[in-house]
Amino acid sequence: LEKQGEMLCSSHQLAGLLHLNPAQVRKDLAYFGEFGKRGVGYAIPKLREQIIKILGLKQIRPVGLIGAGGRLGQALALYRGFEKRNFRVVALFDKDPFILRQSPMGLGKIHPVEELPRIAKELGIEMVILTVPAEAAFDVYEIIQLSTVKAILNFAPVQLPSTDEIVVHNVDLTMKLESLSYYLNCSSLPESLSEDDFSED
């Protein structure tokens, strides 16, 4: 909206864009403070500013990327979209000695994961993206726990637990597909989950 030169918006308008109920929008925002003016609406630049503050993104957040040698890791390391929203991938890590010797072109130096604690401390990294294979995930998780990192965006298809120290968001892409598959299956199912053999022992 700001890019479109709008200066004001109502909860109704936001609700439309977000596919939500206007009351929901108001309540959620009100939880953090009083950002609107009664009878008027929300001043867009101020609202944006407030949301940035709430999200802790007033200054650029340095992010580490572990598993930079894999294809997903490379894709995310080179993704331009993070910068626009105040994130910057400032350090790449991997375990594979081959990758460490010669980093894929376009990427800068890749460090061994063992150096994560030192480098994270130096660069103020509190957040990492994890794109390692399932087998490596728990080992890397251990190393992360020894570092200044307090948040993980995990793409490895294993459920890493959040603790008091570390928040984890697990993004299992296959599970997303499964979820969609379920919806497809439902709409094409008239009434039959027990249609074929289901004999007790």
Partner DNA sequence: GCCTGTGAATTAGTTCACAGCA
Partner DNA sequence: TGCTGTGAACTAATTCACAGGC
Instruction: Please report, for residues 118, 126, 158, the alpha-carbon distance to residue 63 in angstroms, rounded to integers and kept in the order given.
Output: 14, 7, 21
Q: Which residues bind DNA (CB under 7 A)?
A: 9-12, 20-24, 26-27, 29-30, 34-42
Taking the complex as a whole, the smallest distance from the CB of residue 143 to DNA amounts, in Å, to 31
**Binding site partner of 135, from a copy of itself, DNA, none, Cβ cut-off 5-8 A by kind:** none
The values of phi and psi at residue 130, to 5°, are: -115, 115
Task: Rule CB under 8 A: choose which of 7, 12, 18, 45 binds a copy of itself.
Answer: 18
Tell whether residue 85 is a contact of a copy of itself (CB under 8 A). Answer: yes
Work out the number of other CB atoms within 10 angstroms of the CB of residue 147.
20
137-196 residues near a copy of itself, rule: CB under 8 A: 150-153, 157, 159, 161, 167, 169, 171, 173-174, 176-189, 193-194
Angle between helices 116-123 and 134-145 (to 10 degrees): 60
The C-alpha atoms of residue 19 and residue 5 are separated, in whole angstroms, by 22
**Binding site partner of 29, from DNA, a copy of itself, none, Cβ cut-off 5-8 A by kind:** DNA
Q: What is the edge-to-edge ordering of all strands in the sheet holding 61-66?
A: 110-112, 87-94, 61-66, 127-130, 151-154, 167-170
Place of tokens 């103020």: 124
Beta strands in the chain (DSSP E): 8-9, 36-37, 41-43, 61-66, 87-94, 110-112, 127-130, 151-154, 167-170
**Binding site partner of 42, from DNA, a copy of itself, none, Cβ cut-off 5-8 A by kind:** DNA
Taking the complex as a whole, the smallest distance from the CB of residue 196 to DNA amounts, in Å, to 18
Taking the complex as a whole, the smallest distance from the CB of residue 110 to a copy of itself amounts, in Å, to 16
Check if the beta carbon of residue 62 is closer than 8 Å to that of residue 55.
Answer: no
Tell whether residue 7 is a contact of a copy of itself (CB under 8 A). Answer: no
Query: Which residues bind to a copy of itself, rule: CB under 8 A?
Result: 17-19, 32-33, 50, 53-57, 61, 63, 70-72, 74-76, 78-79, 81-82, 84-85, 87, 126-127, 129, 150-153, 157, 159, 161, 167, 169, 171, 173-174, 176-189, 193-194, 198
